[in-house]
Amino acid sequence: MGPPKPLGMMWRIYPRLRDRWRGLLDRPLGDPTVSLWPGPALRPPARAYVPPTERKRFYQNVSISQGEGGFEINLDHRKLKTPQAKLFTVPSEALAIAVATEWDSQQDTIKFYTMHLTTLCNTSLDNPTQRNKDQLIRAAVKFLDTDTICYRVEEPETLVELQKNEWDPIIEWAEKRYGMEIGSSTSIMGPSIPTQTREVLTSHLASYNMWALQGIEFVVAQLKSMLLTLGLIDLRLTVEQAVLLSRLEEEYQTLLLNSVRRMLVCHRMPCEKSQVI
């Protein structure tokens, strides 16, 4: 008997994928996260600054102190500065502690590519692209035109259903939460976003300061989704949930490919045994 038909195979695969997603999405916020998918973690995306890859650690102790402009990071008795030689100052103690932890966790070698908060703070402080608040907001709102969860496939049926079950609730939540119309589309042009929706989102983002907008734009760019980012901001989603939802089609294809490989191995084993006999 030959291999099963592709559609039948995908229908057997889908329940497993669906169950994995349901287990993740049903987990309360704050629960310990574990990797549900094999393989390496996502590589940190490029940012405005590209610091040296590594450097020998030159300090013993890391501490924070409060100055006139906010909270500062101290490496021994030296104050941390940005690439443009500005005093590294952040607006909150919590952020200062998080950045200090990045520096303190470095071993004999400082691995700058692991210090994501430091890099984002440098970008906010130096603003190397010289963009103002309105420009940051426009850049974030523009992602609605190509929002990942608004673009849908027409086949296979299993992926169509998966996208509907996992992405539609996020769109419906955002429409209700912010009083705007979004929708989805299978067209390569994507859904037609009403002008009023852009105005509502622009007004909402205007309530954030430059620090928050720098972070929001970065998250939107990585998830390729303004809607998933809004879900993160409102604690509708955990970070892991947002990442997996942004990679839904890729994860589906990976699981499908792995299942095909296992099926081929199972079909090949009887043949190899018969040759030995």
pLDDT in tens, 171-198: 999 999 999 999 999 988 888 999 999 9
Phi-psi region of 184 (alpha: psi -120 to 50; beta: other; left: phi over 0): beta
Please report, rounded to a whole number, the percentage of residues in the chain having pLDDT higher than 90: 65
Identify the pLDDT of residue 255.
80
Identify the pLDDT of residue 8.
44
Identify the pLDDT of residue 15.
59
The mean predicted confidence, pLDDT, of the chain is 83
As a whole number, mean pLDDT of residues 154-170 equals 94
Rounded to 5 degrees, what are φ and ψ at 191? -70, 155
Angle at CA of residue 241, ends 201 and 214, nearest 5°? 45
Task: Give 61-86 as a 3 state SS string.
Answer: CEEEEEECCEEEEEECCEECECCCCC
pLDDT at 43 over 80: no
Angle at CA of residue 18, ends 13 and 22, nearest 5°? 155
pLDDT in tens, 209-261: 999 999 999 999 999 999 999 999 999 999 999 999 999 999 888 887 766 56
pLDDT in tens, 69-124: 899 999 999 999 999 999 999 999 999 999 999 999 999 999 999 999 999 999 99
Identify the pLDDT of residue 32.
37
Q: What is the CATH number of domain 6-43+132-254?
A: 1.10.3580.10
Angle between helices 210-223 and 226-233 (to 10 degrees): 130
Does the domain at residues 54-126 carry the CATH identifier 3.30.2180.10?
Answer: yes
- The whole-angstrom separation of Cα 37 and Cα 60 is 38
pLDDT at 29 over 60: no
**Collapsing DSSP states into helix, strand and coil, what is residue 32?**
coil
Work out whether strand 78-79 and strand 89-90 pair parallel, antiparallel, or are unpaired. unpaired
Identify the pLDDT of residue 251.
87
How many other CB atoms sit within 10 Å of the CB of residue 184?
A: 17
Could you tell me the pLDDT band of residue 50, with boundaries at 50, 70 and 90?
low
pLDDT at 48 over 70: no
Identify the pLDDT of residue 257.
76
Identity of the amino acid at 264: L
Which sign does the torsion angle of CA 171, 174, 176, 179 carry?
A: negative
Exposure b/e, 11-20, CB count within 10 A at least 16 = b: eebbeebeee
Could you tell me the pLDDT band of residue 161, with boundaries at 50, 70 and 90?
very high
Residues 6+ apart with CB under 8 A from 227: 144, 147, 149, 150, 170, 171, 174, 182
Structural domain spans, the chain: 6-43+132-254, 54-126
